[in-house]
Amino acid sequence: MAIKNDIKRQVSEIKRNAANTIRNKIPLNIEKALTGVGVVVANKAQEYTPIEYSNLINSQYHTVEQSTNGYRAVVGYVANYAAALHNRTDWNPRPPDQKAGPAWNPRATHHFLTRAAKEEQTTINRIMLGDLEL
């Protein structure tokens, strides 16, 4: 009878530990991983973000959001023209002598966020796999 009670106690402890891990550790690991992903994508996107007065690049943000469907990393720009500039494909960076503002990014390109995420996919995978280990 003592062995049976020991087994029940051990099973109860395993269940408690599993529930604690699911409730506490996994969400923290997900947030940590997605924060890392956001930082990586945001940093890479700055290499391709157009600059004239630095309004756009200075409006960049990254955050982790939780919804009923889970978590997601969000990288974006607060500047109201960011989406239009990101999605336009009919422009190239203008040289400094053709710009109104003092700043210039010769590597600027359309789809700067998408490009950054694609180029950093290997790093993103490494972050997700590493931080989600229990």
**Average pLDDT per consecutive 10 residues, the chain (134 residues; last block may be shorter):** 72 73 74 94 96 94 92 95 92 85 89 96 92 63
Q: Give Rg (Cα) of the chain.
A: 23
What pLDDT sits at residue 14? 76
What pLDDT sits at residue 10? 76
Distance in angstroms (rounded) separating the CA atoms of residues 85 and 79: 10
What pLDDT sits at residue 44? 97
**How many CB atoms are located within 10 Å of the residue 56 CB?**
22
Q: Contact at 8 Å (CB) between 103 and 95?
A: no
Helix H or strand E segment including 121: helix 121-131
Tell me the pTM. Answer: 0.79
Residue 80 exposed, middle or buried by CB count within 10 Å (0-12, 13-18, 19+) = exposed
Distance in angstroms (rounded) separating the CA atoms of residues 131 and 96: 42
E strand residue ranges, 1-134? 60-67, 70-77
**How many CB atoms are located within 10 Å of the residue 117 CB?**
18
